[in-house]
Structure 1
Amino acid sequence: MVQEFEGTVNGQFRRRAGQVAAAGCLLASVLAGPAVAQDAKPAAAGPTMRLELNRLEPAGENCRTYLLVDNGKGSALKSLKVDLFAFDTEGVAQKRLAVELGPVQERKTVVRLFDFPGIACPKIGRVLLNDVLACEGGEASRESCLERIDTSSKTGTEFAR
């Protein structure tokens, strides 16, 4: 707190008291800066697993799907079961499929093949990762696995989360 003084001599004290107070505030903010920075929470980690719709090809009346599972940054999973929806080119849901992608080794990329039955590949306009049904291994949970996954596509078909 800065006190005001009267008189010419006291006017000098008033200015000095204000300068001392300002310097004290500056010093306090400099000293508090590192403490505040240390208490700040770290930024949330981004996705650590990438699922890429890599290829679609006809397999009779089915659409064979090549799904790349890139676990280059994550821990091993005994099971990773996902719920997928195939939408037609008009955006209407056509097929729902539960696919087991595990086991998935730590720091490993693999390709998993599965078929969307009874739907031709050109009829698939989008694939949706609707949910994670199972995620087992380490400290993984179904919810944390879904947050870890990033989707992409090398095909003309969108793959979204």
Structure 2
Amino acid sequence: MQKTPNRTFRRRGALLAFAGLLLGTAAATAGETGKIDVELNSLSQSAKGCEVSFVMRNGFETAIDALTFEIVLFDDDGRIASLLNLKAGDLPVGKTRVKQFRLAKCERVSRILINDVSECSGTDLTPKACLQKLNVTNRTGVKFGL
């Protein structure tokens, strides 16, 4: 079967559209430049306690030497169950890192709030600036945000 110009253009157009889709997906996955991406990835009860996993990415042009979040857990009645400081540690430039924390029971946790950034150190970084640059996402059934 001989290729017609129309068929060739359609095939190239489809390939270009697919390549654009892949590039767009890669850019979205990489996160935003100038932001700290924090994803609540999982929350599950184990024999050892409540396992909470976050996926974090430093989109700044400078390394974060130390990062600590003040987190508030709410129960299923909307009451504050606990207030915690979770040390995320360092985050190199462009690095995606998984951080896991063990809490008490999580079956009644209905919401997790990043109340503040209590520590964010690095060149020209402050906790207030880091808080303003947080980009939060969620893959769980528990509400999560700022």
What is the TM-score with the length of structure 2 in the denominator?
A: 0.72
Partner Cα separation in structure 1 for residue 48 and residue 78 of structure 2: 20
1:76 correspondence with 2:66: no
Structure 1: state its 5+ residue gaps: 1-44
**1:85 matched residue in structure 2:** 72
The count of residues paired between Structure 1 and Structure 2 equals: 115
Query: Kindly, what percent of the aligned residue pairs are identical?
Result: 27
Where is the strand percentage greater, Structure 1 or Structure 2? 2
Q: CA RMSD in A?
A: 1.9
- The AA in structure 2 aligned to 1:50 is D
Residue pair 1:83, 1:131 contacting (<8 A) in 2 also: yes
Displaced runs of 4 or more, over 6 A: none
Change (3 A) 1:129 1:47: farther
**1:52 matched residue in structure 2:** 39
Shift of 1:55: 0.4
**1:32 matched residue in structure 2:** none
Structure 2: state its 5+ residue gaps: 1-31
Residue pair 2:34, 2:59 contacting (<8 A) in 1 also: no
1:122 correspondence with 2:107: yes
Where is the helix percentage greater, Structure 1 or Structure 2? 1
Partner Cα separation in structure 1 for residue 40 and residue 61 of structure 2: 19
Q: Of the candidates 102, 107, 127, which is equivalent to residue 94 of structure 2?
A: 107
**2:124 matched residue in structure 1:** 139
Partner Cα separation in structure 2 for residue 124 and residue 75 of structure 1: 34
Partner Cα separation in structure 2 for residue 98 and residue 142 of structure 1: 13
- The AA in structure 1 aligned to 2:58 is N
SS of aligned partner of 2:83: strand
SS of aligned partner of 1:78: strand
Partner Cα separation in structure 1 for residue 103 and residue 33 of structure 2: 30
